[in-house]
Every structure is written in C-alpha cells, then in structure tokens.
Copies of this chain bind each other. A is one copy, B any other.
C-alpha cells in the first residue's frame, strides 16, 4: 500500500455547513480517510487532515477544490490569516511507501487539473516549485487575493498551470509536495523571554542553527514561564530529539531548566521511531510496531 497525507487549507472558518460540504467531497472516495478537520473563525480558515492512496486522494482533493470554488467568494472574505484562494494551499506529504518524488508528480497532476478544468491559476511550491522564488509559500502568497490581480501580470509570477488571470472569486491556489511539518514547543523555567529568544536564535536555520528549524521565543503570560516555539519542516533530516537536546544544551548555559515539551497536532509514527532509536541507541522501524502491522493488513483488506 502507498499512502499520502494532505492538509488542505480552505478560506472558510465561519460557515460550518460550507466546510462540511467540502469535507463530504473527500468522504465520497474509497481509501481516502478524513482524520481530522477544524475551523478557526478569527482566521476565517479551515484545515482538513486527509490520508489516502495517491490516485483517490488526488481526485478527492480536486473535488474539494471544485466545491470550495463554488461556495467561497474571496471578494467577501475577511480574516487574520493571509490567503489568496478559496482552496488556499494543498500540500502533499509522503506518509507510507511513497517518495517525495512521487508526491511532486502527484502535485503536478492535481495542479494541472485545477488549472485547466477549474480555471484557477496554480503555483507549485516547496519541493514541487519550478523556480527558487516559489519554494516558500509566504513569498507566493505575498499581496494576497487582492494583490494578485496585479502580481499575476508580472512574468515572474506567471502561474504553473491554468489561466494567466486570477479566478474572480476563487483566487489562486498553491499545490506542492513537502515533508510533514512538526510544531513543537519547549517550555523553560524562567520569566525572562529574552532567554527563549536567544535559544530560538541559536537553534533556527535563519540565524545559523539547524537546517529545518524555524523558532521564536514566546512569553506565556500569566504562567510564569517562557517558550521556544518551533516548526520542524523536515523531521527526517532534523529529527525531534536533536532539536530538543540542542535546546537543553543552550538552556544550561543560562542555568534555566527545561520544564517540558509539547507536540502540537498530529504527528507521524516515524518521528516516534526516530526519537526512540536515538535515545535507546537502536534502529527501529514501523514493521516492528504491532499497530503498523495491523494497519497494513486493514488497508490491504480495504482494497478488496
């Protein structure tokens, strides 16, 4: 079996019936499973977590995008989170027996269909990007929906698929393959947020730290502690344990205790296996885990 994860973001976080209709498009498909979905009214945005076999998942994502384009009108959309499309961004993440290269291929298949069949301009981002300035989603999204009517005229921002003009109500969409992103927070036993900021600088890529780490220092007001808040954008190459141990090491120079950590949202089994393998000085893989074996059998059964 091959499994891909996708966490599409849609620009609707207030009308529950709209999000439910988008989710329903995914549920039509065999071997596509909706693990989780959530709405945020302030951001006016929803995030849906899907896992599925590649072909079916791509078809499901296409149908969800089509439904979002029918039901969401960005001309009336307000919210705190930057956005540029009804289906704003669709990442594909290799989960099980699937390579990054395959996810790149699938992102192009999906992007082409969205562009040609729905008339929505598509930008390939991250590992699927066709030029360096499109790797970073934030660079693509700069200017947002309203700004794109001008931005798209710049030859540098010619879409990878679809027409050279913004869809009047559904905007533009980013599609791309990327690694699973782990949001990881570490709490420090001090009230001094400067220490959290210094540690964040020490570990993050942008200031000389680990390649796949983004980090900031945050004051958890009222709790008497501060936090290093981290995104690990490639946990295979920059594993959780290395980030955690580096924070412990840096915290020590300030005599500050590491109180604990938390992983935000869902995370893949592989990140656990890598962590345990490091600490127990061994080399574990999913084939050794009872639940993985059972999952493999059940996915096989569901194919029948």
Contacts and interface: CB of A to CB of B under 8 A. Distances in A.
Interface string A42-55: 00000001010000
B297 A268 contact: no
Interface in A265-304: 265-269, 272-273, 275-276, 279-282, 284, 286, 288-295, 297-299, 301-302
Interface stretch (A75-83, A140-148, A253-261): A253-261
A138 interface: no
Contacts of A279: 241, 244, 275, 279
How many copies altogether?
A: 2
Given A33-B294, A272-B273, A288 B260 contact: no
A148 to B, nearest CB: 33
A171 to B, nearest CB: 29
A5 interface: yes
Given A286-B291, A291-B292, 10 more contacts: A35-B293, A258-B281, A261-B280, A263-B284, A265-B288, A266-B293, A269-B292, A272-B272, A291-B295, A298-B298
